Amino acid sequence: MQSRISHIVAIASGKGGVGKSTVAMNLAMALRHRGKVVGLLDADIYGPSQKRMLGVADEVMPEQIDEKRLRPLSINGIEAMSMGFLTDEKTAMVWRGPMASGALVQLLEQTEWGELDVLLVDMPPGTGDIQLTLAQKAALSGAVIVTTPQDIALIDAWKGVEMFRKVQVPVLGVVENMSIHVCSACGHQEPIFGEGGGDRLASDYDVELLARLPLSLAVRESADAGHAMVMQHPESTEAQLFLAIADALVSKLEQSSVPTPPTITMGDD
């Protein structure tokens, strides 16, 4: 499987609610806009959101090739797979950790991805079973950490960076989401979630701050409607920021070699 994918990149966050899935979907479309062959794997087994964000109707399901393999959905030029494609939106996955990890392995290894330049993996929040399973099963080229500027989000983002370092996965950069709110009526700008958090995280770990994304009504409305800003409003400030993240990510990946999966050993340090 991995010989057909040049780079696998995890889009991760330490906590939920920071807009990680929105960033993952828009970044996938931005990479496609730049001419890359892109896949998007929704690895949030318990709370998959890419079905809604990609505008996939309930009756649309992946084609089964044989008893084990599935063909990903092709959506606006990207290949996508999610547990949400296989279940109803209201279905709760009441599984223990090993079952969820097994489901992730199946989605990763039994999807007929084809030849991809980049496979983005929209990770669930946290530092648990799913993250460790992905690090063990996939040769990750790196991870992008999504956070908001507020201190409570940064505490968990630090843990996310530490986890990837512990499993020998390079952090390619940080995206600070909801960085600033711009009033649609008067244009006043206000950092309602604080400011400078992404800079501190990037500085602490000597990684690049890839972008500061605004708290944007247009991005939220587009995602809820199943569209990406790059596709729906390509000239918008938000779309240009996603394209800038894509350009930076491509540059970093072109400078890296394809890694081999690490052996995970967890100690007390």
Nearest CA to 41 out of 90, 145, 111 is that of 111
Residues 207-246 pLDDT 10s:
999 999 999 888 989 999 999 999 889 999 999 999 999 9
Q: How far apart are CA 156 and CA 136, in angstroms?
A: 22
Structure confidence at residue 263 as a pLDDT band (50, 70, 90) = very low
Q: From residue 135, give the alpha-carbon distance in Å to each of 99, 115, 210.
A: 17, 21, 23
Q: How far apart are CA 231 and CA 235, in angstroms?
A: 10
Q: Give the CATH superfamily of 2-254.
A: P-loop containing nucleotide triphosphate hydrolases (3.40.50.300)
- 106 or 94, which is more confident: 106
User: 148, 193 in Cβ contact below 8 A?
Assistant: yes
The closest alpha carbon to 18, from 139, 166, 176, belongs to: 176
Give the per-residue pLDDT at 261. 52
Q: How far apart are CA 179 and CA 91, in angstroms?
A: 33
Residues 70-91, mean pLDDT to the nearest whole number: 90
Structure tokens at 121: 């993996």
Domain range annotation of the chain:
2-254
pLDDT confidence of residue 258: 56
Look at residue 96 in the predicted model and tell me its pLDDT: 78
Is the CB of residue 172 less than 8 Å from the CB of residue 207? yes
DSSP per-residue codes, 206-231: T--EEEE--B-HHHHHHHHTT--HHH
Tell which residue, 116, 106, 127, 123, has the closest CA to residue 50. Answer: 123
* Per-residue model confidence as pLDDT tens digits over 111-124: 999 999 999 999 98
Model pLDDT, residue 111: 94
What would the mean pLDDT of 146-152 be, rounded to a whole number?
89
* Model confidence pLDDT, tens digit, residues 7-63: 999 999 988 889 999 999 999 999 999 999 999 999 988 889 999 999 999 889 999
Res 93 pLDDT > 60? yes
User: Which tokens go with 214?
Assistant: 């605004």
Q: DSSP alpha helices (H): ranges in the chain?
A: 20-33, 50-53, 97-109, 129-137, 151-166, 197-204, 217-224, 229-232, 237-254
